[in-house]
Chains A and B, each alone.
Chain A
Amino acid sequence: MAAEEEEAAAPPQKRFYRQRAHSNPLADHTLSYPSRPQDMDWAALFPSFFPPDAAPGTAPARVEFVDVGCGYGGLLVALAERFPQTLAVGLELRGKVAAFTRARIRALRAARPGAYGNVACVRANAMKHLPHFFRRAQLSKLFLLFPDPHFKRTKHKWRIVSPAMLAEYGYVLRPGGLVYTVTDVPELHQWMLRHFGEHPLFEALPPAQLAAEPLLPLLPSVTEEGQRARRAGRAPNSAVFRRRPDPPAAAP
């Protein structure tokens, strides 16, 4: 899109990107997503990591971090600063919000050439599209920051944490990979603790390692939703879960 590119230099204005708080993750949206992971054009999202003059035979860069429901992109910006060599992608279901975050990253790249090239946002439905984008055991970190709580019982199936989704997170994460969760909704925190706790592919990070986890202190306040919670005086609850080894004979 021509104009979207030209817009690059200016930081986006949020008022042009507002959208209803919830989008039904089980509905059919007109999203474009690759049919298979090998069909995804990652070079278009991370051009600086796909130089045209790369030596033949060098393995193409691969996304390792995924921010599920990245919203306005606060975590991605922080990841760009802390892990400038690791590709991180945010998945956001709401089109306008994803468009904002893309514009935000474009503006940051334009303002500081050479930086922010490792983060990108795509509009996608994480509940349906993870295996379209990622291969088995491709990821090392997955972030679920302030996911929508969907309080009503009938809407629990919209929650981003469920037995079905945990099997998919287990599929895209490599053994030893980590899932970070933060929420200001105690009920949802309990729900996530319970589901990850009951799932055979995950275990809570042991306390000693949790204490040493460098990202943990950052996560509650790094995103827009985290700041909103803090302003409203709602305490964040964080947790980290580790992908356990595969059961025998699961790896092909």
Chain B
Amino acid sequence: DESLFVYDCSSAEKQPLGEKGQDGKGTDKGSDDILAFAFSPSGDYFALTDDNKRLILFRTKPSWECVSVRFVNRRCTSLVITAAEDKIFVADKSGDVYSYSITEPQADGKLELGHVSLLLDVALSADDRYILTADRDEKIRVSLTKAPYSIVSYCMGHREFVSKILVIPNCPDLLLSASGDSTLRLWEYKSGEEVHCCQLSTICGPQATKPDQKFTVSRITYCCQGGYVAILCDSIPTVYIFQLDATARQLVYKEQISLKHKGWDIAFEEMGDLWILQEDKEAPLLLYRACDGQWKAVTDDKGLQKMSKYIQDNWTVFEGFVGAESYYSHLYKASFDNMDEYLQRKEERLQQQKKKKQDLQHASSGQAKKKMKAEEPSL
């Protein structure tokens, strides 16, 4: 089939204004921007959520069609479809994960689990048994999909928000994660054990423009064929490619592809072709192919030419994102506290007391003792 399927969110059903969401809160007006999307593992389903808090489900076979439009409680950050293709799990900004049935495509969502801080990603193990959630603190939580109140493990070690997680499809016990702490980590996720940590600043550092450059991974894509991992970092016009050594359980840095513009998204095809979407109307789409272990740009591909033209013809859709601010910079902890100041004052006070005590050493201390006793909290 040669024709492209187009669905215009701005013409889709909107939640009537003033209508209360499931949580009883009034709705606030959002845009039609798409916030998250995912295919089912087989590719038969596709779901997206947008800034209007809609969850829109599509069937892709025999041809694309919209199955349902539902409404979520909060703006979503990530979603995933089960391998069984019976449910969509949607992670949101208040830290909750809701499930939405595919078999009952109009049914309301069901609260499955919650974190106390906002969620950035949700993933499932290949057999749907485990649901993994990554939050804006440093946590990755592993829960049983069928009993998500039961936490199997936490993968602890990241020092900033966890931006992306990915269960390696052909190494089903391994989880790959990325964080605002500029690391990629591999985990044995059922036990929560970290098996490898890769400091991106030492690998990507030499090219960095700023000395304190952060490598916040905004996209990860994986190719089972060869075990290649490609990543894109926030505001850095480079794609970094690694290879997973499944036996040593390590990531081995391979090479980088420098872009002329900011990268927006990346995706591997099954056989290892790498698609790159970048912030450039002239060449929005790039295609790289591995030959003899080196990634080379392909220009004469029919599919590439067709898609590039299509994106260019519809550039108005993308225009709004040109020069957009970093999505991640506000997630770094801007800590506030008055503890340091307080501790300093306390230290001063203690020094003073010590001095006073020394001065009063020979004087009767009975009075002082009594007073302290009175102020000791009673039990």
Contact = CB atoms under 8 A, between A and B. Distances in A.
B372 A131 contact: no
Given A78-B379, A164-B114, 19 more contacts: A3-B346, A3-B351, A4-B347, A7-B350, A11-B373, A26-B116, A26-B117, A28-B333, A29-B335, A29-B339, A36-B156, A95-B337, A165-B116, A167-B148, A167-B149, A167-B151, A200-B147, A224-B377, A247-B146
Contact of A252 (B139, B152, B349): B152
B335 A28 contact: yes
Given A128-B116, A163-B111, A164-B116, A199 B149 contact: yes
B146 to A, nearest CB: 8
Contact of B157 (A25, A36, A251): A36
A75 B113 CA distance: 32
B342 A96 contact: yes
Interface of A: 1, 3-4, 6-7, 10-11, 13-16, 25-30, 35-37, 72, 74, 77-78, 95-96, 99, 104, 127-128, 131-132, 136, 157, 162-168, 170-171, 199-201, 222, 224, 227, 246-247, 249-252
A163 B129 contact: no
Contacts of B336: 27-30
Interface residues of B, number: 53
A72 B377 contact: yes
Among the interface residues B94, B114, B150, B372, which one has the most CB atoms of the partner chain A within 10 A?
Answer: B150
Contacts of B338: 95
Given A4-B350, A131-B154, A136-B153, A77 B379 contact: yes
Interface string B319-341: 00000000000000111111110
A252 B191 contact: yes
A250 B350 contact: no
15 contacts: A3-B346, A3-B350, A29-B337, A35-B158, A95-B342, A99-B346, A127-B116, A136-B153, A164-B95, A165-B116, A200-B147, A200-B149, A201-B149, A249-B129, A252-B191
B300 interface: no
Contacts of A74: 377, 379
A199 B150 CA distance: 10
A3 B149 contact: no
Given A6-B354, A14-B375, A72-B377, A163 B114 contact: yes
B147 A30 contact: no
Contact of A170 (B116, B137, B150, B372): B150
Nearest to B129: A249
B70 interface: no
A7 B346 CA distance: 11
Given A74-B379, A166-B149, A167-B113, A1 B347 contact: yes
Interface string B154-166: 1011110000000
A162 B115 CA distance: 10
B378 interface: yes
Contact of B337 (A15, A30, A128, A163): A30
Given A36-B157, A164-B114, A250-B150, A28 B346 contact: no
Among the interface residues B115, B138, B338, which one has the most CB atoms of the partner chain A within 10 A?
Answer: B138
A247 B150 contact: yes
Nearest first, the 3 A-B pairs at minimum CB distance are A164-B114, A3-B350, A30-B337
Contact of B156 (A6, A13, A132): A132
Contacts of B372: 10-11, 13
A189 to B, nearest CB: 22
Given A128-B117, A200-B149, A3 B347 contact: yes
B149 A249 contact: no
Contact of A128 (B137, B147, B342): B137
A15 B117 contact: no
Interface in B95-118: 95, 111, 113-117
B34 interface: no
Contacts of B116: 25-26, 127-128, 157, 164-165
B98 to A, nearest CB: 13
A201 B152 CA distance: 13
